Structure 1
Amino acid sequence: MSGRHTTQEAHRLLTEYDAQLREAAELTGATTVTRDGPLWRGTYGDRGFVTCRDLGHLTGPALDELITRTITYYATQPAIASFEWKTRGHDLPADLPDRLAQHGLHAEEPETVMLGEASLLAAPVPLPQGVSLRRIDSQPDPMPDLIRAAAAQERAFGVPFSPAHLARRLQAKRDLMEIWVAEAEGEIICTGRLELIPGTAFAGIWGGGTVPEWRGQGIYRALVAQRARSALARGARYLHSDSTEFSRPILQRSGLLPITTTTPYIWTRR
């Protein structure tokens, strides 16, 4: 694809992203959803999530008031330990991240939003000898494997992962989420989720991570391909992912395009 056509396709995909994957689509599985002007606010157990598609030209004091109301909304719910305000690099006003920081929210690492045709990622990828792929969420009792998958994610990303949180997320999205793993010698060495988004042509690929000693052997790419085939079989046309610096090159080589960035801003109860 030429540079001009790539730019045109990225613009088309960004339009689809804004139309199909913002606001209500992001809050599938939330226990509560409320609105405050252009904002959508959800809760998931002890966590909150804030998103919007268009801040309606709010700037200056009006935007500060909206941020303050949002903090108060979550702060007055004792069960809420933190919330995420999801920002995108192409959104206006451009000073929203600065204002969130001024109100005490801290930025996590930015990620690249990757989008493209699921068919581009679906071709089978050879696995190293002794490695196999398996879906673990559809068995009668997935909890033992969820515990093992969470431990593998913890090793892959270097941060704690709660199997109980994964189980709650699976319960909330029972018919919309698949959890796939790669195994070798009885050990889970790579994990990843596929999440179908109702009412859209999209599925998301999330949580992909390979334990350090198995990296560089195509296992993550094979797990992406498996999830792409599953997404196509279930009627999705597009895949999207908020990608780290490690996963972005793999997805881009497969044909997905970077269309914007996303940075979570986090409020934590003190």
Structure 2
Amino acid sequence: MTDLLQVYDAEVRGSFLNRLPPGWTGTSDGPLARCLTDRGGFAMFVDDATALSGEDLRGLVDRTFAFFQDQQRPFEWKTFDHDRDDLRPLLIERGARPGPHEALVLGETALLATDAEPPDGVIIREARQRTDLERIAAMETEVWSEDWSWLADDLQARLRADEPITVLVAEDGDDLVSAAWLVPLPGTRVAGLWGGSTQSSHRGRGIYRALVARRARLALDRGYTILQVDASDDSRPILERLGLRTVGGTVPYLAG
């Protein structure tokens, strides 16, 4: 597990500022990446912060909150279970609110590149058209009971990137019942598995597993030998049964 966590820190976190999503601009403040995004702001340690004194860390946190306040932007500070212990109390002290904990899951792509197929009546296909992206956003809005309309623009921008994502949808007749996308991380061995939300009427039927297998095969074809997922409580057990390992966790802290 330690080796996979080291891969994540070196290749995923460490390369973050070199592969920002479309529409993001970023700078560094010591070990911290600080970004302006289409929807607000984002901050995350991308390098080892253990050398910072307590006073230095407090100053970094103060500067970051002041920066986004000056920009009049809400922001997310993505924290990790293996970040230093005194970070989260400083975020809470400044009014940041923790979001749901997700498991940090990694493993060899080949373990997931199986021949798993969706249940009878459900088809999986690649989606690129704007109408499909809007259907995905509408489905996510229904699943999560919050406005995900922004997702159509986000996916469209990522499809136009130099190293584009691959978006898959699962359909039962005319109904879009799940969607997921493969996010390659250029310059690394790692690709991310994002999405995977499924309508409640179709959960527990193997659709998520089939989407994982299809994306893993695509990742191997593109030369990505390690997969990474920020996994919910629903998806983590499936991924672990398929051979991936939980190496840590992540919690977003929301401010503004």
Please give the TM-score of this superposition, normalised by the length of structure 2: 0.92
Paired amino acid for 1:86 = K
Return the letter of the residue paired with 2:55.
Answer: P
Post-superposition Cα deviations, 1:34-70, rounded to whole Å, max 9, x if no partner, equal: 1111111112213211111212422433222211110
Matches within 5 A, 1:41-190: 41-52=34-45, 53-78=47-72, 80=73, 82-92=74-84, 94-137=85-128, 142-162=129-149, 164-172=150-158, 174=160, 175-190=163-178
Name 1:243's counterpart in structure 2: 231
SS at match of 1:223: helix
Residue of structure 2 in register with 1:198 after alignment = 186
SS at 2:33 equivalent: strand
The 4+ residue runs of structure 1 with deviation greater than 4 A are none
Distance in 2, matches of 1:212 and 1:160, equals 18
Residue 189 of structure 1 deviates from its aligned partner by 0.1
Contact 2:25 2:35 in 1 (8 A): yes
1:215 to 200, 203, 209: 203
Question: In 2, are the aligned partners of 1:23 and 1:40 still within 8 Å (CA)?
Answer: no
- Of 120-129 and 58-67, more deviation after overlay is shown by 58-67
Residue 264 of structure 1 and its aligned partner are, at CA, apart by 0.7
1:98 aligned counterpart, secondary structure: helix
The match for 1:4 is none
Aligned to 1:31: 24
Q: CA deviation at 1:169?
A: 4.3
The secondary structure found in structure 2 opposite 1:21 is helix
Distance 1:187 1:173 in 2: 23
* Whole-angstrom CA distance in 2 between matches of 1:180 and 1:75: 37
Deviation at 1:128? 1.7
The amino acid across from 2:118 in the alignment is L
The structure 2 residue matched to 1:228, chosen from 216, 239, 249, is 216
User: Whole-Å Cα distance in 1 between the matches of residues 62 and 155 of structure 2?
Assistant: 29
Question: Compared with structure 1, are the counterparts of its residues 102 and 11 closer, same or farther at alpha carbon in structure 2 (3 Å cutoff)?
Answer: same
Q: Partner letter of residue 51 of structure 2?
A: H
Using the aligned pairs only, state the percent identity: 38
Identify the residue that residue 21 of structure 1 maps to in structure 2: 12
Q: Deviation at 1:23?
A: 4.0
Task: Please say which of residues 117-126 and 55-64 is displaced more in the overlay.
Answer: 55-64
Q: Is the 8 A contact 2:130 2:156 kept in 1?
A: no
Q: How many equivalent residue pairs?
A: 251
Shift of 1:168: 3.2
Q: CA deviation at 1:196?
A: 0.3
TM-score, normalised by the number of residues in structure 1: 0.88
1:127–1:172 CA distance, 2 compared to 1 (3 A):
closer
5+ long unaligned stretches in structure 1: 1-9
1:88-110 Cα distance to aligned partner (Å, 9 max, x none): 11122x12111111011110011
What's the Cα RMSD here?
Answer: 1.6
